[in-house]
Amino acid sequence: MTEYTYELTIDCANKLDEQDELASYRQEFYLSASSIYMDGNSLGLLSKRAEQTLLDVLDDWKNLGIDGWMKGKHPWFHLSESLGVKSASLVGALPEEVMVTGSTTVNLHQLVATFYKPDGKRTKILADELNFPSDIYALKSQLQLRGFDPDTHLVQVKSRDGRFIDEEDVIAAMTDEIALIVLPTVLYRSGQILDMKRLTEEAHKRGIMIGFDGCHSVGAIPHHFHDWNVDFGYWCNYKYLNGGPGSVGGLYVHERHFGKEAGLSGWFGSQKEKQFDMNHTFTQAEAAGAYQIGTPHIMSLAPLIGSLDLFLEVGIKRIREKSLRLTDYLMWLIDQELADMGFTIGNPRDEKRRGGHVSLEHKEAARICKALKAENVIPDFRAPHIIRLAPVAFYTSFTEVWEVVQRLKTIMVEKKYEHYKNEREVVA
Give the list of residues 6+ apart from residue 28 with CB closer than 8 angstroms, or none.
47, 48, 49, 310, 394, 395
Phi, psi dihedrals of residue 98, rounded to the nearest 5°: -120, 140
Calculated CA dihedral for residues 179, 182, 183, 188, nearest 10 degrees:
-150
Residue-level pLDDT at 1: 65
Instruction: Tell me how far the alpha carbon of residue 55 is from its chain's centroid.
Output: 25
E strands present in 10-140: 36-37, 98-100, 124-128
pLDDT in tens, 369-392: 999 999 999 999 999 999 999 999
Asked if 226 and 197 count as a contact pair (C-beta separation under 8 A), the reply is: no
Residues of the chain where predicted confidence (pLDDT) is lower than 50:
none
Is 239 known to be catalytic?
yes
Question: Is the link from the previous residue into 384 a cis peptide, with omega within 30 of 0?
Answer: yes
Residue among 39, 60, 128, 213 flagged as catalytic: 213
CATH of domain 10-30+316-419: 3.90.1150.10
Choosing from 115, 188, 238, 252, the catalytic residue is 238
Backbone angles phi, psi at 270, to 5 degrees: -75, 160
pLDDT at 319: 98
Residues making up the binding site for pyridoxal 5'-phosphate = 104-105, 132-135, 213, 216, 238, 267, 295
pTM of the model: 0.95
424 is catalytic: no
**Residue among 189, 239, 354, 367 flagged as catalytic:** 239
Neighbours of 357 (CB within 10 A): 32
pLDDT score recorded for residue 400 = 98
Alpha carbon distance 114, 12 (integer Å)? 52
Known binding residues are 104-105, 132-135, 213, 216, 238, 267, 295
**Nearest in space to 141 (alpha carbons), one of 115, 117, 109, 177:** 109
Among 6, 132, 282, 420, which one carries the catalytic annotation?
132
Catalytic residue list contains 20: no
Given this model, what pLDDT does residue 294 score?
93
- CB atoms near residue 245 (< 10 Å): 10
10-30+316-419 and 52-313, same CATH topology: no
Interval 176-197: pLDDT, tens: 999 999 999 999 999 999 999 9
Q: What is the pLDDT of residue 428?
A: 67
Chain-centre distance of CA 87, in angstroms? 13
Topology of the domain covering 52-313: Aspartate Aminotransferase; domain 2 (3.40.640)
Is 238 an active-site residue?
yes
Catalytic residue among 49, 322, 367, 388: 388
CB 96 within 8 A of CB 255: yes
232 assigned to active site = no
Dihedral (CA of 165, 168, 170, 172) sign: negative
Where are the chain's structural domains? 10-30+316-419, 52-313
